[in-house]
């Protein structure tokens, strides 16, 4: 028997999904780190890096984030900033 999960319970379990992940390739080996997490290998030494943003909630405009588009724009601006770019 599978217990029923309500929306709040689902969101609590899936809190990790709405995040940014920085992927890097070092000599053909792929590695990753959540945004804000210390990477196991320095991104500057990578052959290739990219950022994956998941679960942006575009179209959702209720508390706690009534400006989802603005939040996504701020996240992209932070990723593209020269001093924080992987």
> CA-CA distance, 50 to 43, in Å (whole number)?
10
Which ranges of the chain would DSSP assign to H, the alpha helix?
Answer: 7-13, 68-80
- Cα separation, 48 vs 11, in Å, equals 33
The residue with greater pLDDT, 66 or 2, is: 66
pLDDT, residue 8, reads 67
Q: Residue 80 has what pLDDT?
A: 81
Determine how many CB atoms are found less than 10 A away from the CB of residue 25: 13
d(CA 29, CA 8): 37
Structure tokens at 81: 């900033």
- Could you tell me the pTM of the whole model? 0.54
Confidence bin at 10 (pLDDT 50/70/90): low
Q: What is the model's pLDDT at position 16?
A: 45
Q: How do residues 16-66 score in pLDDT, each as one tens digit?
A: 455 677 888 988 888 888 777 777 777 778 888 888 887 777 777 788 778
Domain regions of the chain by residue span = 17-80
For the record, the structure tokens of 11 come out as 């969101």
Closest CA to 35 of 53, 16, 20: 20
């Amino acid at each position: 028997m599978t217990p029923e999960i309500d929306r709040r319970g689902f969101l609590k379990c899936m809190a990790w999904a709405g995040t940014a992940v920085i992927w890097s390739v070092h000599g053909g080996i792929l590695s990753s780190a959540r945004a804000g997490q210390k990477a196991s290998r320095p991104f500057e030494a990578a052959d290739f890096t990219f950022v994956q943003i998941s679960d942006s909630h575009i179209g959702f405009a209720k508390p706690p984030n009534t400006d989802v588009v603005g939040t996504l724009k701020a996240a992209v601006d932070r990723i593209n900033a020269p001093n924080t770019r992987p």
